[in-house]
Amino acid sequence: MEHGFNMLENASDKSLERLSERRVLTAKEKERMLKMSMDKLNKMNNNSDDELQVSGVEQYKRPKWYGFATAAASLLLVGGIVGGGIYLSRNAHVPDEPMTEVTTTSETTVATEEYDFSAEVSQIEAGMEDMLRNEPHAVADSLMMKLNQFVNLTIGWNVGEDKQVKKKLETSSGTVEYYRCYDFDKPEDVKAKYREYFTESFLNRYEYLWNEHVVETPIFKVFDGKLYHRSENIDAVIYSYTQNDIKINSFDETSFNFTVACRTQDNNQHLLNIVCVKESDEWKIDSYSDRLISDDIPE
Partner 1 sequence: MTGAEYSALRESSPEKAYAALFGNYCDYVYAIVYNKLRSVAQREDIEECVSDIFADIFLTYSNSGEFAGDMKGFIGTVSKRRAINAYHRFASRSEHDSGESDDYLAGVASRTDIESEHELEERRCILLNKIDELGEPDSTIILQKYYYDRSSAEIAKMLSMKPSAVRMRASRALDKLRKTLAEVGITL
State the minimum distance, in angstroms, from the CB of residue 72 to partner 1. Answer: 10
From candidates 124, 126, 131, 215, binder to partner 1 by CB under 8 A:
131
DSSP strands (E only) in the chain: 161-171, 174-181, 220-223, 226-229, 246-251, 255-263, 269-279, 282-292
Q: Which stretch binds partner 1 (CB under 8 A): 23-31, 97-105, 165-173, 184-192?
A: 23-31
Query: Distance between CA atoms of 196 and 109, rounded to whole angstroms?
Result: 9
In the bound state with partner 1, the residue whose beta carbon lies nearer, of 75 and 192, is: 75
In the bound state with partner 1, the residue whose beta carbon lies nearer, of 110 and 271, is: 271
Whole-Å CA distances, 89 to 143, 160, 284, 295: 17, 25, 18, 19
Task: Quote the Cα angle for 198-73-146, to 5°.
Answer: 25
Strand-pairing partners, residue 162, are 180
Is 121 among the residues that bind partner 1 (CB under 8 A)?
A: no
For partner 1, the binding residues in 237-296 under the rule CB under 8 A are 238, 242-245, 247-251, 259-261, 269, 271, 273, 293
State the minimum distance, in angstroms, from the CB of residue 75 to partner 1. Answer: 4
Q: Which stretch binds partner 1 (CB under 8 A): 14-22, 92-100, 170-178, 212-220?
A: 14-22
Cβ burial of 226 (10 Å; 0-12, 13-18, 19+) is middle
Is 13 among the residues that bind partner 1 (CB under 8 A)?
A: yes
**Total residues in contact with partner 1, by rule CB under 8 A:** 89
Q: How many Cβ atoms sit within 10 Å of the Cβ of residue 124?
A: 12
- Residue type for 163, please? K
Is 113 among the residues that bind partner 1 (CB under 8 A)?
A: no
Is 76 among the residues that bind partner 1 (CB under 8 A)?
A: yes
In the bound state with partner 1, the residue whose beta carbon lies nearer, of 129 and 216, is: 129
Q: Which stretch binds partner 1 (CB under 8 A): 73-81, 90-98, 102-110, 201-209?
A: 73-81
Query: Distance between CA atoms of 177 and 168, rounded to whole angstroms?
Result: 5
DSSP 198: B
For partner 1, the binding residues in 167-206 under the rule CB under 8 A are 182
- Residue type for 128, please? M
